[in-house]
Amino acid sequence: MSASTPAGRKQIHLAAHFPGVNSTTVWRDPDSRSQIDFSSFQHLARTAERGRFDFFFLAEGLRLRERKGRIHDLDVVGRPESLTVLNALAAVTEHLGLAATVNATFNEPFELARRFASLDHLSGGRAAWNIVTSSDAFTGENFRRGGYLDRADRYTRAAEFVEVARALWDSWPSGGTPRTVRHSGPHFDITARATLPHSPQVHPVLIQAGDSDEGREFAARTADIVFSRHGTLEAGRAFHADVKGRLARYGRTPDQLKIMPAATVVLGDSEADAQERAAHIRRQQVSPQTAIATLENVWGRDLTGYDPDGPLPDVEPVPDGELAQGWAHMSDRFGIAARWRALAEEKHLSIRELAIELTARQSFIGTPGSVAAAMDEHVRTDAADGFILVPHLTPGGLDEFVDQVVPLLQERGVLRTEYQGATLRDHLGLGRPEPRPEESA
Partner 1 sequence: MTRELHLSVALGSAGPRPAAHWTGLVQLAELGALDFVTLDDSLDPADGDGRLDAVAVLAHAAARTSRIGLIPTVTTTHTEPFHTSTALATLDFVSEGRAGWLVDVSITEEAARATGRRDPAPAPELWAEASDAAEVAARLWDSWEDDAEIRDAATGRFIDRDRLHYADFEGPRFSVRGPSIVPRPPQGRPPVAVVLDAQEIDIRWELAARHAEIVLLDADSPAAAREARTELRRRAGRDDLRVLVRVGLAPHAGPPLTGGLDALPDLLAEWHAEAGTDGFHLVTTTPTEELPAVIHDVVPALRAGGLFRATHTGRTLRDHLGLARPDSRYAVRTEAAL
Ligand X SMILES: Cc1cc2nc3c(=O)[nH]c(=O)nc-3n(C[C@H](O)[C@H](O)[C@H](O)COP(=O)(O)O)c2cc1C
Length of the chain: 441
Tell me if 133 contacts ligand X by CB under 6 A: yes
Tell me if 106 contacts partner 1 by CB under 8 A: yes
Tell me if 134 contacts ligand X by CB under 6 A: yes
Tell me if 219 contacts partner 1 by CB under 8 A: no
Rounded to the nearest 5°, which phi and psi values hold at 72? Answer: -65, 130
Q: Is 258 exposed, middle or buried (0-12, 13-18, 19+ CB in 10 A)?
A: buried
Tell me if 60 contacts ligand X by CB under 6 A: yes
Tell me if 209 contacts ligand X by CB under 6 A: yes
**Residue 113 touches which of partner 1, ligand X, none (Cβ within 5-8 Å per kind):** none
Peptide bond into 204 cis (omega under 30): no
β-sheet bridge partners, residue 192: 181
Tell me if 373 contacts partner 1 by CB under 8 A: no
Tell me if 94 contacts partner 1 by CB under 8 A: no
Tell me if 71 contacts partner 1 by CB under 8 A: yes
What binding mask, one character per residue, do residues 123-162 give for partner 1 by CB under 8 A, x or -?
A: xx----------------xxxx-x----------------
Distance in Å, CB of 344 to partner 1, minimum: 22
What binding mask, one character per residue, do residues 257-296 give for ligand X by CB under 6 A, x or -?
A: -----x----------------------------------
Q: Which is nearer to partner 1, 171 or 222 (CB)?
A: 171
Distance in Å, CB of 214 to ligand X, minimum: 6
Q: Are 52 and 418 in contact (CB under 8 A)?
A: yes
Q: Which is nearer to partner 1, 122 or 233 (CB)?
A: 122
CA angle, 22 as apex, 16 and 26 as ends, to 5°? 80
Q: Which residues 6+ apart lie within 8 Å of 172 measured at CB?
A: 178, 179, 193, 194, 196, 197, 198
**What is the DSSP secondary structure assignment for residue 202, as one 8-state letter?**
B
Q: Which is nearer to partner 1, 10 or 68 (CB)?
A: 68
**What whole-number distance in Å separates Cα of residue 329 and Cα of residue 327?**
6
**Residue 103 touches which of partner 1, ligand X, none (Cβ within 5-8 Å per kind):** ligand X
Q: Which is nearer to ligand X, 19 or 308 (CB)?
A: 19
Of 31, 38, 151, 381, the one binding partner 1 (CB under 8 A) is: 38
**Residue 189 touches which of ligand X, partner 1, none (Cβ within 5-8 Å per kind):** partner 1
Q: Are 386 and 379 in contact (CB under 8 A)?
A: yes
Distance in Å, CB of 194 to partner 1, minimum: 7
Q: Is 242 exposed, middle or buried (0-12, 13-18, 19+ CB in 10 A)?
A: middle
Output 81-84 pairs: Cβ under 8 A, ≥24 positions apart: 82/58, 83/115, 83/116, 83/119
Number of residues that bind ligand X (CB under 6 A): 18
**What is the DSSP secondary structure assignment for residue 316, as one 8-state letter?**
P
Q: Which is nearer to ligand X, 138 or 419 (CB)?
A: 138
3-state SS string for 376-408? HHHHHCCCCCEEEECCCCCCCCCHHHHHHHHHH
Of 287, 294, 325, 370, the one binding partner 1 (CB under 8 A) is: 287
Distance in Å, CB of 107 to ligand X, minimum: 12
Which one, of 20, 105, 10, lies nearest residue 56 by Cα? 20
Q: Which residues 6+ apart lie within 8 Å of 42 measured at CB?
A: 89, 92
Q: Which is nearer to partner 1, 112 or 414 (CB)?
A: 112
**What whole-number distance in Å separates Cα of residue 412 and Cα of residue 401?**
15
Tell me if 201 contacts ligand X by CB under 6 A: no
Rg (alpha carbons) of the chain, rounded to whole number: 22
Q: What residue ranges bind ligand X (CB under 6 A)?
A: 59-61, 101, 103, 132-134, 209-212, 214-215, 227-229, 262
Q: What residue ranges bind partner 1 (CB under 8 A)?
A: 27-28, 36-38, 42, 61-64, 70-81, 83-85, 87-92, 106-108, 110-111, 114-115, 118-119, 121-124, 141-144, 146, 172, 178, 188-197, 287-290
